[in-house]
Amino acid sequence: MIKLIAIDMDGTLLSSDRTISQKNKSVIAKALTLPEVSIVLCTGRPATGILPYLEELQLTDKDEYVISQNGAYIFQSKTKQVLAEKVLDTTKLSEIVELAQKHHIGLMGVGEAACYSIAMVPTDMMVLEARIVDAPLIELSLEEALQTKFHKLLFIETPETLDAFEQILPQTWRENFYIVRSQGNLLEMMNQGINKAEALKELGDYLSIPLSSMMAIGDGMNDIEMIKEVGYGVAMENAVPALKAIAQAQTSSNDNDGVANAIVDWLQLEKE
C-alpha cells in the first residue's frame, strides 16, 4: 500500500509555463482525502520557489512535508518548521570559484530564502533563475560567501557549455560532493550523500513510512535515486532516458497532466 507520493516540480508537476493544471490540482486534492496518504513535493527548488505552489495546492492547510534543495532541506508545509537541514561544505569554495571563473560559468549559491552570485557579476541566466524561484539575488565576494550558509551551488550556462564543463570537473569534487544535472542549463552541487532518495528515507523514518510504501514521480537526473529506491517509481513522458530505463511505469508529459494520470493509474492498480 502506497502511503506517500513524492512529486518533483519542474518538468513534472509544473507545465512548461510553470503552472499547475486543473486536473493535477483536482487529483492531488482527491489523493489527500485518502486515509494515510501523504503528498510530498520533492524538488531542487529552494523554499521561496515552492511556497506559492503549496498555497495553490492547499498544502499550507495540511500537515504535509516538503523536500527542497534536492534533499538538503526538509520542512513542514503548514508551520514551515524545519525537519532537517544540511549546509554545504565550503572548504573547496575557492577552488570551485576559480574553475567557474576560468571557464566563464555562472556560479550561484542557494540558501533558504535567497540566491547568491559568488565573486562575479550575475549573468542574465542567473538573474532569470533567481526570478523563477522567487528569490532575491545577492552579490557576494568570495570572503563573504565563505561566511554564508548555502544548501547547494548552481553552475548556470547553456547546455552545450555545461556539457564540456562537466567533463573537466576534478574527480575529488565527485568524491566529496553530489553533483547532478537537474536541467539542461543547471549543474547542481551538494554535500555527498544528499539526494531526494536519502531525504525521503529520512522523512519516512520520521513518519514511519518505508521507501517501499512510497510512490515517486519525476523527469530528471536528480530524480533517479528516488525513482530507483521507492516502491513505485514513475517517469514522465518527457523524462530523460536514464530515468525511463529504471522506472516501473511511465505517464504522460508535464504538459499533459502526467502527475494526475500517474496517480489515477496507481489508484486503479490498488483496486485490482
Q: Which of 8, 219, 223, 257 is catalytic?
A: 8
How many CB atoms are located within 10 Å of the residue 255 CB?
A: 15
123 DSSP 8-state letter? P
The dihedral region occupied by 94, where left means phi > 0, alpha psi between -120 and 50, and beta the remainder, is alpha
Residue that is written with C-alpha cell 538573474 in the block: 127
Nearest to 107 by CA among 135, 142, 82, 77: 142
48 DSSP 8-state letter? G
Please classify residue 147 by burial: count the beta carbons closer than 10 Å to its beta carbon, then call 0-12 exposed, 13-18 middle and 19+ buried: exposed
> Residue 57 and residue 136: Cα distance in Å, rounded?
24
Helices (H) and strands (E) in the chain, counts: 11, 14
Q: Alpha helix (H) ranges present in the chain? A: 22-32, 51-56, 93-102, 124-132, 142-145, 159-167, 171-176, 196-207, 224-229, 241-246, 258-271
8 catalytically annotated? yes
- Nine cell digits for residue 139: 552579490
Active centre residues (catalytic): 8
